[in-house]
Amino acid sequence: MSFFSTILEKLGLNKHEQAPPAPEPTGTPAPTDATTSVSSGATPAATAISEVDVAQKLETLAGQSSAELNWRTSIVDLLKLLDMDSSLTARKELAEELHYTGSTDDSAAMNIWLHSAVMKKLAENGGKVPADLLD
Protein backbone atom coordinates (compact mmCIF):
# COMPACT_ATOMS: atom_id res chain seq x y z
CA MET A 1 0.00 0.00 0.00
CA SER A 2 1.32 3.43 -0.86
CA PHE A 3 2.02 6.04 1.77
CA PHE A 4 -0.75 8.32 0.51
CA SER A 5 -3.21 5.39 0.33
CA THR A 6 -2.59 4.86 4.03
CA ILE A 7 -3.49 8.52 4.69
CA LEU A 8 -6.70 8.05 2.70
CA GLU A 9 -7.54 4.90 4.61
CA LYS A 10 -6.94 6.51 8.00
CA LEU A 11 -9.31 9.33 7.07
CA GLY A 12 -11.97 6.99 5.67
CA LEU A 13 -11.36 8.03 2.07
CA ASN A 14 -10.92 4.67 0.38
CA LYS A 15 -10.76 5.08 -3.40
CA HIS A 16 -11.69 1.44 -3.92
CA GLU A 17 -15.26 2.33 -2.92
CA GLN A 18 -15.79 3.63 -6.46
CA ALA A 19 -17.56 1.35 -8.86
CA PRO A 20 -15.37 -0.02 -11.62
CA PRO A 21 -15.69 1.64 -15.01
CA ALA A 22 -18.31 0.19 -17.32
CA PRO A 23 -16.93 -2.36 -19.77
CA GLU A 24 -16.37 -1.10 -23.27
CA PRO A 25 -19.03 -2.27 -25.71
CA THR A 26 -18.11 -5.13 -27.98
CA GLY A 27 -19.71 -6.19 -31.21
CA THR A 28 -22.81 -4.50 -32.58
CA PRO A 29 -24.38 -1.74 -30.52
CA ALA A 30 -27.71 -2.59 -28.94
CA PRO A 31 -30.67 -1.37 -31.00
CA THR A 32 -32.54 1.60 -29.65
CA ASP A 33 -36.16 2.32 -30.29
CA ALA A 34 -39.16 3.84 -28.57
CA THR A 35 -39.41 0.87 -26.21
CA THR A 36 -35.92 1.35 -24.83
CA SER A 37 -36.12 3.31 -21.62
CA VAL A 38 -33.35 5.65 -20.53
CA SER A 39 -34.42 5.21 -16.92
CA SER A 40 -34.14 1.43 -16.94
CA GLY A 41 -32.78 1.43 -13.40
CA ALA A 42 -29.19 1.22 -14.56
CA THR A 43 -26.64 2.88 -12.32
CA PRO A 44 -23.94 5.25 -13.52
CA ALA A 45 -20.56 3.74 -14.38
CA ALA A 46 -18.95 5.22 -11.27
CA THR A 47 -20.53 6.21 -8.02
CA ALA A 48 -19.32 9.20 -6.07
CA ILE A 49 -17.34 8.60 -2.93
CA SER A 50 -19.20 9.91 0.07
CA GLU A 51 -17.53 13.12 1.12
CA VAL A 52 -15.56 13.04 4.37
CA ASP A 53 -15.11 16.27 6.34
CA VAL A 54 -11.32 16.12 6.68
CA ALA A 55 -11.01 19.10 9.04
CA GLN A 56 -13.69 17.79 11.37
CA LYS A 57 -12.13 14.33 11.43
CA LEU A 58 -8.66 15.74 12.15
CA GLU A 59 -10.00 18.14 14.81
CA THR A 60 -11.65 15.18 16.53
CA LEU A 61 -8.38 13.26 16.48
CA ALA A 62 -6.50 16.32 17.75
CA GLY A 63 -8.99 16.64 20.62
CA GLN A 64 -8.26 13.05 21.62
CA SER A 65 -4.49 13.52 21.48
CA SER A 66 -2.44 14.49 24.52
CA ALA A 67 0.09 16.24 22.25
CA GLU A 68 -0.54 19.66 20.74
CA LEU A 69 -0.29 19.03 17.02
CA ASN A 70 -0.69 21.77 14.42
CA TRP A 71 -1.97 19.59 11.58
CA ARG A 72 -3.33 22.65 9.70
CA THR A 73 0.18 23.82 8.74
CA SER A 74 2.59 20.99 9.56
CA ILE A 75 2.89 17.79 7.54
CA VAL A 76 4.87 16.28 10.42
CA ASP A 77 2.04 16.99 12.87
CA LEU A 78 -0.56 15.78 10.38
CA LEU A 79 1.25 12.45 10.02
CA LYS A 80 1.71 12.15 13.79
CA LEU A 81 -2.00 12.82 14.30
CA LEU A 82 -2.76 9.96 11.90
CA ASP A 83 -0.31 7.75 13.84
CA MET A 84 1.99 7.46 10.84
CA ASP A 85 5.74 7.64 10.38
CA SER A 86 6.67 11.34 10.15
CA SER A 87 10.42 10.83 9.79
CA LEU A 88 12.36 12.63 7.09
CA THR A 89 12.73 9.32 5.24
CA ALA A 90 8.96 8.80 5.28
CA ARG A 91 8.32 12.35 4.10
CA LYS A 92 10.81 11.91 1.27
CA GLU A 93 8.94 8.75 0.26
CA LEU A 94 5.65 10.66 0.28
CA ALA A 95 7.26 13.49 -1.72
CA GLU A 96 8.43 11.01 -4.35
CA GLU A 97 5.00 9.38 -4.49
CA LEU A 98 3.31 12.77 -4.99
CA HIS A 99 5.89 13.80 -7.64
CA TYR A 100 7.72 16.54 -5.74
CA THR A 101 10.21 18.15 -8.12
CA GLY A 102 12.13 20.28 -5.64
CA SER A 103 15.16 19.26 -3.62
CA THR A 104 14.39 16.87 -0.79
CA ASP A 105 17.51 18.26 0.91
CA ASP A 106 15.51 21.44 1.63
CA SER A 107 13.15 19.79 4.10
CA ALA A 108 11.38 23.05 5.03
CA ALA A 109 10.33 23.74 1.43
CA MET A 110 9.47 20.07 0.90
CA ASN A 111 7.32 20.02 4.06
CA ILE A 112 5.36 23.10 2.98
CA TRP A 113 4.81 21.59 -0.47
CA LEU A 114 3.84 18.22 1.01
CA HIS A 115 1.20 19.68 3.31
CA SER A 116 -0.37 21.59 0.43
CA ALA A 117 -0.17 18.59 -1.93
CA VAL A 118 -1.71 16.22 0.63
CA MET A 119 -4.62 18.60 1.26
CA LYS A 120 -5.25 18.95 -2.48
CA LYS A 121 -5.06 15.18 -2.99
CA LEU A 122 -7.48 14.62 -0.10
CA ALA A 123 -9.95 16.96 -1.79
CA GLU A 124 -9.46 15.13 -5.11
CA ASN A 125 -10.25 11.85 -3.38
CA GLY A 126 -13.57 12.82 -1.82
CA GLY A 127 -12.41 14.81 1.18
CA LYS A 128 -14.12 18.02 2.16
CA VAL A 129 -11.15 20.30 2.81
CA PRO A 130 -11.56 23.95 3.88
CA ALA A 131 -10.53 26.44 1.19
CA ASP A 132 -7.87 27.99 3.42
CA LEU A 133 -6.05 24.64 3.45
CA LEU A 134 -6.05 24.38 -0.33
CA ASP A 135 -3.80 27.40 -1.00
Q: Is the pLDDT of residue 33 over 80?
A: no
Residues 56, 5, 100: CA angle, nearest 5 degrees: 100
Instruction: Report how far apart the first and last C-alpha atoms of the chain are (Å, whole number).
Output: 28
Distance in angstroms (rounded) separating the CA atoms of residues 96 and 41: 43
Q: What is the pLDDT of residue 26?
A: 52
What percentage of the chain exceeds 90 in pLDDT?
A: 68
pLDDT band at 10 (very low <50, low <70, confident <90, very high): very high
Q: What is the pLDDT of residues 59-115, one digit of tens each?
A: 999 999 999 999 999 999 999 999 999 999 999 999 999 999 999 999 999 999 999
This prediction's pTM: 0.73
Give buried/exposed letters for 34-70 (b at 16+ CB in 10 A, else e).
eeeeeeeeeeeeeeebeebebbebbeebbeeeeeebe
| d(C-alpha 127, C-alpha 11), whole Å | 9
The reported pLDDT for the residue numbered 79 is 98
